[in-house]
Amino acid sequence: MTLKINEPKAKESTMAKAVQWIGAPLDRADGELKTTGKARYAADFPLERMVYGVPIVSPAASGSLIKLEVEAAEKLPGVLFILTHENAKKIFPIQNDFGTATKLAEGRFPLQDKKIYYAGQYVGLAAAETLEIAQEAARLIKVICKEERSALDSEEELPYSYFPDNNWGTPLPVIRGNFEKAFSNTEVQLKAVYTTPVEHHNPMEPHACTAVWDGDNLILYESTQWVVGARNVVADALGLPREKVRIISHFVGGGFGCKGFVWPHTLLAAMTAMHLKRPVKVVLSRSQMAAGVGHRPATHQELSIGSSKQGKLTAIKHHTITQTSFLDDFLEAAGGPTQSIYSCPNLLVSYQVVRLNHGTPTFMRAPGECTGLFALESLLDELSYTLNLDPIELRLNNLSDKSPEEELPWSNSHIKECYELGSKIFGWKERNPKPKTMKRKGFLVGLGMATAMFPGVRSPGAAKVKILSDGTAEVLSATQDLGTGTYTTMKQIAAEVLRISPHRIVSKLGDSSYPPAPVSGGSMTSASVGPAVKSAAEKAIEALIHISIKDSSSCLYHLPLEKIHAADGKLVYQDDPSKTEIFEEILKRNNLSHIEGESFVKPDNSAEGYTVQSHGAQFAEVEVHPLLGQIRVTRMVGVFDVGRILNQKTARSQAIGGMIMGIGMALHEKTVYDPRTGRVVTDNLCDYLIPVMADSPAVEADFIDKPDPRFNSLGVRGLGEIGITGVAAATANAVYHATGIRIRDLPITPDKLLKWL
């Protein structure tokens, strides 16, 4: 995919000399394509003889399939094929291991048996000449099931729950010191229960896949956060060599985690296309997305906290009851932040998981961190009022210069600066600390704050940088841009090394045929792929220098390599700047169309002996109507320490988006299931509430912007998820400050306030 923005040439030479491209607030490289409708998402590729597929779903939540009555559908003019368990291609076993990039989002192969695990599970696919015919065919097919007792209520199923013994290899429960003994002897004790509901990702672009067979090669236009992982899963499942499968995902209209792995509809599209020998497009409806592409599971979090009267934490217990499906083990690790932020010698973090007849949960923006921080940071706020301490002072009392969990120093941490700058921008010191004392135009006004955090994560990543004979350059990597700005930041990194304007560089991403890159999840893309781009650009320049010093026609002939560097699209000899060679001339004289550098960068041991984590401070102001219980977030400030900032504009966009999503978590979002059938009731964007413009306040995001050189060569950490993590707690704390009412059950809706106001 070619993305290019033209810039007047008069500016290029001057800008490249004067501007430090990394950190500059450049406009998005893909902005024009998106705003003019030219950007093609997975469902937007016009292919000849296109076939449209619509999933057939189970009405039952548990049981087995007896029969699909397909006769009426098959008689419809334009219906081409009904895919069922009786004619589906056999799917081959895969390791289903995240480490091998072969993880299925749902650990069950579609249409390989008759077992039903949740309402909305795919039991077939109707394929037709038009979407409307396919929809009608799917509607006409009668799904006859033998229903069994369904597990639909967490409380009822609690006796059958299990206690996981590990979380991604970390033994559970997590024990530090002796909680029971320390808590019984502590001066101040608090206990509380906090709950969060099921939430759905609801990205603007629905899940979509267009499958095209070219002989024995398969091309999938897929909406995915991981083109390499999707390629590996589909190839292994269909029994194909991985080089025979290509995933293209140039643009992704949001994911938030639900597009991180392959869901069953992708395999159904590929199987149907194989049978019909025509392209097949499957685009999920909102209702199908609510049932079959994951969600954030509900949590019931029981916290106990003990401290001295001066506010020094002595004991914390955090027990989380959460949910998974009968297909997979999934853990919403809400206790993670409790383990890793504050210094506390006695700690107990444990989990209990209930299996329900719902689809498998999956990662949703900051999984565990934002649910866990809602509980932890709310209880710390309660403790601050009990002790009559400023909430920031309480947190400062319990910070440590090393990780409480691993007892290793932070690789680079500026959390105190986050508190200081955030409170200054927000005007925290002007707050009257007594609840229900601040008013504005008839509304109760409250101010709240919370700590934000997210671990520093990176994985191996690769990139290729080409310098072309016309003086432009290309960056290629099989990473993805979910709307986060990756197209833009990768150009900026290359520009910094090549010393040419980023507007003369084209980013080519979202294609599994490019150098491999990890999933765009865990806030790891910049930290993983960015160093590979930097290294590849350095290798490209080095290769260009080697050509020049071996070229007898060059003024750089036989000059020492280490004294030649790139500047303004040229190679320059540092001892005599008059000796320069323009990139284009070097390549043309040597009859080369381009020269390239490629690099595969693995995490090194530079951070060995340190713990890598990003921190932040978030502040919220709310107005609450004293008679109606209506809540509005009127101001929000977030200050984040995420290492070096690659692009001030796209970084702020990410932080602001995360904070607004956090408002949704705090005040709006809740998935409702029919308790009789297990079907999602809020399966549309009318009934599932998310923040709209009227709910979005003045949001300010700022950054400490200090590199973390121990983490990677760029000093950059992830930013995509930390923005949401402290918002729900900061908002809930602000509501308490405004009203004197503590709501521990999300979302905070007017009815929960009215019974107390």
Tens-place pLDDT, residues 370-390: 999 999 999 999 999 999 999
Contact 640, 625 (CB under 8 A): no
pLDDT digits (tens, 9 = 90+) for 264-314: 999 999 999 999 999 999 999 999 999 999 999 999 999 999 999 999 999
* Residue 605 pLDDT class (50, 70, 90 cuts): confident
Q: Tell me what pLDDT residue 701 has.
A: 98
pLDDT given for residue 96 in this prediction = 84
How many helices (H) and strands (E) the chain has is answered by 20, 29
Residue 15 has pLDDT above 80, yes or no: no
Which amino acid would we find at residue 742? R
Residue 361 contacts by C-beta under 8 Å, 6 or more apart in sequence? Answer: 294, 295, 296, 297, 323, 324, 325, 330, 332
Please name the residues in contact with 199: beta carbons below 8 A apart, sequence gap of 6 or more. 295, 296, 364, 665, 669, 670, 671
How much of the chain, in percent, has pLDDT values that exceed 70?
A: 97
Q: What does the pLDDT read at residue 396? A: 98
Residue 669 in 3-state DSSP?
A: coil
Summarize pLDDT for 74-115 with one digit per residue, the tens. 999 999 999 999 999 999 999 888 888 889 999 999 999 999
Per-residue pLDDT reduced to its tens digit, 487-518: 999 999 999 999 999 999 999 999 999 999 99
Average pLDDT over residues 200-221: 97
Q: How much is the mean pLDDT over the chain?
A: 96
Quickly state the pLDDT bin for 392 (edges 50, 70, 90): very high
User: How far does CA 278 lie from the centroid of its chain?
Assistant: 33
Is-cis flag, bond preceding 264, omega within 30?
no
User: Which domains, from first to last, does the chain contain?
Assistant: 9-39+459-601 (3.30.365.10), 51-149+201-292 (3.30.365.10), 365-456+612-754 (3.30.365.10)
CA atoms within 13 A on the CB side of 438: 19
Sign, CA torsion 505/511/515/516: positive
Active site amino acids: 721
Instruction: Compute the average pLDDT of residues 343-360.
Output: 98
The pTM assigned to this predicted structure is: 0.96
**Angle at which helices 648-667 and 727-739 cross, to 10°:** 50
With a cut of 90, say whether residue 19 has pLDDT above it. Answer: no
